[in-house]
Amino acid sequence: MLVIGASSDLGSRIVAALQTRDVPVRPFSRTPVPEGVVGDLSDPASLDRALRGVTRVFLQSSPVQRQVALETNAIEAAEGAGVERIVKLSNIPVAGLETGLHGNHRAIERRLSSSPVASVFVQPSFFSTVLQKQADQLAQGRMIMPAGRGKIAWIDPVDIASVAVEALVRDDLSGPLHITGPEALDAADVADRLGVQLVEPPIEQWHTAVVAGGLDPWLAESTVHLYRAIARGALAEVTDTVERVTGRAPRRVFVPDAAG
């Protein structure tokens, strides 16, 4: 199996889980990883080399504007190599979000749906680890999230990786898998669990600040649209997919026993 994006937190979890199950795995990333191959989604030749002898692929890429073109390169290379199954990391569709990052994922899913290669879309809700990007703020007792009181069914990456591994090794899973944590929490709930103060700047002020701090303006705009959708309740649904696929309940988040 080829794991694209193996140097990421999620990709490394998937590689480790496959190795634990004695599944032959070939990590693929732009930076060297143990027992892996170095390549780039913008370099079809590196994909062709990495896909030799591979029958199943985990596909993820960075949230960038060129994501559709990059992941399409991987899909086309997989088709040419005779790959049997692609498991794509995606996100839960949100009504009204057809541009930006959500638009990218929908376009890639459509491309996969038209492919002769079998595919599974792992569609998680909000990663709980997104708050790691606020480590400095959290250390000062603050959490910044301008999403109103919309609840989110936050999910631990451990559960995302577990579902992805099942989708890679099994043949009975197909299409979209909407996966969430076991409960929906709004930003105030999360801040309370973490023991910090919630700071909710106006969304336009937040956008200006994060772009000034170096966030890609395209991704910042996508996040603004997502936060507004969250405020309307777009990510509040809790599903039983993690337990149905893996046989165990998803982890609670932002509590001590959810560490790891």
pTM of the predicted structure, to 2 decimals? 0.94
CA distances from 97 to 78, 125, 147, 203 (A): 28, 14, 16, 17
For the four alpha carbons of 24, 28, 33 and 38, in that order, the dihedral sign comes to positive
What does the pLDDT read at residue 32? 87
What does the pLDDT read at residue 113? 96
What does the pLDDT read at residue 210? 95
What does the pLDDT read at residue 156? 97
What does the pLDDT read at residue 260? 45
- Close Cβ partners of 9 (under 8 Å, ≥ 6 residues apart): 129, 157
pLDDT tens digit sequence for 4-38: 999 999 999 999 999 999 999 999 999 988 889 99
Q: For the chain, which residues score pLDDT lower than 50?
A: 259-260
What does the pLDDT read at residue 35? 86
Report how far residue 166's alpha carbon sits from residue 161's, in angstroms, rounded to the nearest whole number: 9
Full set of structural domains in the chain with CATH: 2-254 (3.40.50.720)
Token readout for 136 is: 């400095």
For residue 136, the Cα-to-chain-centroid distance in whole angstroms is 23
